[in-house]
Structure 1
């Protein structure tokens, strides 16, 4: 159950970061927004796979 909680928290943190970056910095720039969102998802996925999936 602890792994599931960590995964949910990781997804929630990722959503908060994506929405925050979109609204604060990239409001009217479609391609930069798409690239930044993809990079954020990759970083969060790597952190999850490297550190949080043990167990």
Structure 2
């Protein structure tokens, strides 16, 4: 798979994970949702830098 395509798919997967967690678990909790979203992005960033870069 081309490098650009893989990066776009990875970003879409991250967005889907953040939105799914927001809708399923943290609908009316702003601070908890913000903390979990930042955590998810950091985890995806760590995996990206470790395995895809």
TM-score (norm 2): 0.93
Instruction: For structure 1, list consecutive stretches of 5 or more residues without a partner in the other structure.
Output: none
Show structure 2 runs of 5+ residues with no match.
none
Is residue 42 of structure 1 aligned with residue 42 of structure 2? yes
Q: TM-score, normalised by structure 1?
A: 0.90
CA RMSD of superposed structures (Å)? 1.1
Q: Which runs of 4+ in 1 moved over 4 A?
A: none
Offset of 1:2 from its aligned partner? 1.5
